[in-house]
């Protein structure tokens, strides 16, 4: 993709201070976009205008979008939290908070960004879900439910906002967002031979944001997991 592929475009990324969100924000900034980041802890990100925002709070979402301006070409709903715990002993409040940030936050940001997106004439929303929306481990109810809800919200928004706004979701698999010490077998279990990197998700976001490459895609789920959801695993 050309270095200035998004020159003159305005891009908003939630959860932009770290990990996947940071990689996405940097990728768009490197390609000429004006990038605004929203985060509860808005650490500096080179080339990105960072703002504090709790995406689960309607007033804070509205204030953040005031900084964006009258036009928004790409919205990346990446902000999310993961909280796991025993189903029977985990407080219900934890479930509520995960749903509030991951699902309600995606809904609020998308809803109140609509006038800005429509003003762009041709715009895209990219929602970051997870392969945990498709398969689960024990005691992941809140996170899995929130990410599954994002998939349903994605195709509903696509039907509501088309054709002016395309809406798609990315489902990351295991992405090393903290530079953890990985074992050879962690990489080897993936059909592509390695654990994912934040830049892998950023590349998918660039693809979905560019109408020249993905203009015939909306309401879709793009799995980026090194092939793990297609791998049959049996206990021998």
Closest CA to 204 of 169, 159, 156, 155: 169
Contact 154, 167 (CB under 8 A): yes
**Annotated active-site residue in 110, 143, 150, 214:** 143
* 143 catalytically annotated: yes
| Helix, strand, or coil (residue 96) | helix
Distance CA 227, CA 225 (A): 5
Distance CA 104, CA 220 (A): 20
> Exposed (0-12), middle (13-18) or buried (19+): which is 187, by Cβ within 10 Å?
middle
Closest CA to 73 of 11, 24, 160, 166: 11
Distance CA 119, CA 73 (A): 9
For residue 91, whether the previous peptide bond is cis, meaning omega lies within 30 degrees of 0, is no
The residues carrying an active-site annotation are 143
């Amino acid at each position: 993709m050309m270095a200035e592929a998004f020159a003159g475009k305005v891009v908003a990324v939630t959860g932009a201070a770290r990990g996947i969100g940071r990689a996405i924000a940097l990728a768009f900034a490197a390609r000429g976009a004006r990038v605004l980041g929203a985060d509860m802890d808005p650490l500096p990100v080179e080339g990105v205008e960072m703002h504090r925002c709790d995406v689960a709070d309607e007033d804070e979402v509205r204030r953040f979008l005031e900084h964006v301006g009258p036009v928004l070409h790409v919205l990346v709903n990446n902000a999310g939290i993961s909280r796991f715990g025993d189903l029977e002993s985990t407080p219900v409040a934890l479930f509520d908070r995960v749903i509030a940030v991951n699902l309600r936050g995606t809904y609020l940001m998308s809803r109140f960004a609509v006038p800005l997106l429509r003003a762009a004439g041709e715009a895209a929303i990219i929602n970051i879900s997870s392969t945990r929306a498709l398969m689960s481990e024990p005691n992941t109810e809140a996170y899995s439910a929130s990410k599954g809800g994002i998939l349903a919200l994605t195709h509903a928004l696509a039907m509501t906002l088309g054709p002016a706004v395309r809406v798609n979701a990315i489902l990351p698999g295991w992405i090393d967002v903290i530079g953890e010490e990985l074992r050879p077998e962690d990489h080897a279990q993936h059909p592509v031979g390695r654990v994912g990197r934040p830049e892998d998700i950023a590349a998918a976001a660039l693809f979905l944001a560019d109408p020249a490459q993905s203009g015939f895609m909306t309401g879709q789920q793009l799995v980026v997991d090194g092939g793990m959801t297609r791998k049959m695993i049996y206990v021998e």
